[in-house]
Amino acid sequence: MSLQIKVPEVGESITEVTIASWLKKDGDYVEQDEIIAELESDKATFELPAEAAGVLKIIANEEDTVEVGAVICEIDTEAKEGSKSSASSDKKEQVKAEPKKEEKKAEKEESKPSSSGSGSKKTGEVHEMVVPTVGESITEVTISSWLKSDGDYVELDEIIAEVESDKATFELPAEANGILKIIAQEGDTLEIGATICKIEVTEGGAPSAKKEGSADQSESKSSEVTTSGEETYATGHASPAAAKILKEKGIDPSNIKGTGRDGRITKEDAENAEKQQAKAPEAAKQEEKKQETPSAPKGERNQHREKMSSLRKTVARRLVSVKNETAMLTTFNEVDMQPIMEIRKKYKEQFKEKYEVGLGFMSFFTKACTLALKEFPAVNAQIDGNEMVFSDYVDMSIAVSSPKGLVVPVIRNAEKLSFNEVEAEVIRLAKKARDGKLSIDEMTGGTFTITNGGIFGSMLSTPIINAPQSAILGMHNIVERPVAVNGEVKIRPIMYVALSYDHRIIDGKESVSFLVRVKELLEDPTRLLLGI
């Protein structure tokens, strides 16, 4: 029996995931609950366990983006260890197993209506091919590549082009035997239903009369044969995964010999070619140096490209959305950090000895914000449609820089936590963020955010709101500056603080008053202990 494994629900707001990596190969025997793949959403990475023991058949490839509930693989539960299911053994890299052309053509002939039937295509008829429906939410596609040239003879069901949507790459088969006339060019973006090409229907194989120059083309093509000695559309053509690698690295596929089925260039071919051709730029550089003019720039001018992760693409999309959809303003103030620094200097050793965590600035700022948010609830609110949602609790989001990008884990009910409890939560969440082990629950539901650019040396910034929240507090570095204290100029450790807020829900008076209240609490920490 074949058991279908589907993409599980991994979070309330997550509708799709990307296949980060397969930990098992197609055809491998897997045990129940054994981790077989890693899935990556815009918020976290998840492990996919096998739901039964058996032979694995992979359906979705690495880097594919699939919706929650879609079938990602199958497990043949009747197969024993050491065996390989017939379905999985035939699978090749990015190329679907196809029947032989003769068998396929015979099947078509059997199912094909007679020449008098309304569904038959007559010789001389021009058949128009349109962009097919490739998914419920997909409204347009891009012509990734043509596998046949304009004027070529194509056979029914022969793959003639690859089209690419924002979710996947699809192969386009010919809908008739005949001469191809290309309408849409490579790189063109077309809506579903738009004309992509036409086929002048012919029967009895390729016509004897070729277009001028076609003999030369076929002669040159004859030198490029597959490993089986038979040319197909796949010969010398890169699979979608390989094409992406070659395009990103700027490698010409015409100089690569494919080792895949019928000479197709596989992902491994592309990766190997990348390594082999890595020496070519060095030789080119040496040649350039010889021909270099005095005005030419000197020194290394290397570049490299990296694919954006799902997390970074989502963060980028959300940041642009916030800038476009909110009335964001930023107000500033400065805080004299000397009272807090004196407390830390006096009690940090005793604090660490008792609670086994350091006494940092984050606990002071978190406590100050929770008290100020009670007085100015609009700063802790958010907009939902035509309504404003006010929370009588504070779920404090803390911005953390991780290897995969910026993440914002949440400290639940921060208003009820003590200084040591806040510090312990900050350390716990920051460690999980760096290890990439934050759960969905730990990443969602914040009502207010604090971000500390000061640890990287930032003096001043305008942080962007963490939607759907309405405000974010930015901390910065502490610098000794001359300030007036009771009519005298003194040197004090000063930090600039910034509050970015959504003017649709927070008025200027509220935003400024909130920041002033935070300043008062930080400059007189006794207020934090007394709650006044």
Comparing 47 with 347, the larger pLDDT belongs to 347
Question: Which pLDDT belongs to residue 192?
Answer: 87
Tell me the pLDDT band of 138, cut-offs 50, 70 and 90: confident
Question: Which pLDDT belongs to residue 274?
Answer: 60
Tokens of 37: 């793949």
The residue-averaged pLDDT of 500-516 equals 95
Question: Which pLDDT belongs to residue 265?
Answer: 79
Question: Which pLDDT belongs to residue 107?
Answer: 47
Residue-wise pLDDT for 270-298, tens only, equals 777 766 655 556 656 666 665 555 566 67
Question: Which pLDDT belongs to residue 317?
Answer: 82
The residue-averaged pLDDT of 319-333 equals 90
Top mean pLDDT of 65-74, 200-209, 300-309 is at: 65-74
The residue-averaged pLDDT of 28-34 equals 90
Closest to 472 (Cα-Cα) out of 385, 369, 324: 369
The residue-averaged pLDDT of 406-410 equals 89
CB contact at 8 A, 88 and 57? yes
Closest to 198 (Cα-Cα) out of 188, 187, 184: 184
Question: Which pLDDT belongs to residue 210?
Answer: 43
Question: Which pLDDT belongs to residue 334?
Answer: 96
Residues with Cβ within 8 Å of 116's Cβ and at least 6 positions away in sequence, in order, are none
CA angle centred on 208, ends 205 and 209, rounded to 5°: 130
Question: Which pLDDT belongs to residue 269?
Answer: 79
Question: Which pLDDT belongs to residue 170?
Answer: 76
Tell me the pLDDT band of 262, cut-offs 50, 70 and 90: low
CA angle centred on 316, ends 460 and 248, rounded to 5°: 120
Residues with Cβ within 8 Å of 75's Cβ and at least 6 positions away in sequence, in order, are 2, 3, 5, 30, 50, 51, 52, 53, 54, 55, 56, 57
Tell me the pLDDT band of 92, cut-offs 50, 70 and 90: very low
What 8-state DSSP symbol labels residue 487? T
Q: How many helices (H) and strands (E) does the chain have?
A: 12, 27
pLDDT at 215 over 50: no
pLDDT at 518 over 90: yes
The residue-averaged pLDDT of 415-425 equals 94
Q: Which of these ranges, 63-67, 232-236, 415-419, 433-437, has the smallest mean pLDDT?
A: 232-236
Question: Which pLDDT belongs to residue 382?
Answer: 94
pTM of the model: 0.50
Strand partners, 329: 501
Question: Which pLDDT belongs to residue 91?
Answer: 42
Q: Which of these ranges, 64-73, 302-311, 482-491, has the smallest mean pLDDT?
A: 302-311
Comparing 222 with 520, the larger pLDDT belongs to 520
Tell me the pLDDT band of 94, cut-offs 50, 70 and 90: very low
What percentage of residues in the chain have a pLDDT greater than 90? 40
507 is catalytic: yes
Question: Which pLDDT belongs to residue 99?
Answer: 43
Which of 90, 150, 216, 507 does the annotation list as catalytic? 507
Alpha carbon distances (Å) from 479 to 56, 338, 460, 520: 59, 11, 12, 19
Question: Which pLDDT belongs to residue 439?
Answer: 82
pLDDT at 462 over 50: yes
Question: Which pLDDT belongs to residue 46?
Answer: 78
pLDDT at 220 over 60: no
Which of 33, 188, 441, 503 does the annotation list as catalytic? 503
The residue-averaged pLDDT of 319-331 equals 89
Residue-wise pLDDT for 366-398, tens only, equals 999 999 999 999 999 999 989 999 999 999 999
**Structural domains of the chain, ranges and CATH numbers in brackets:** 2-89 (2.40.50.100), 122-222 (2.40.50.100), 224-281 (4.10.320.10), 326-530 (3.30.559.10)
Q: Which of these ranges, 183-187, 307-311, 374-378, has the smallest mean pLDDT?
A: 307-311
Strand partners, 450: 398, 473
Torsion angle (degrees, nearest 10) of CA 503, 504, 506, 512: 10
Question: Which pLDDT belongs to residue 83?
Answer: 55
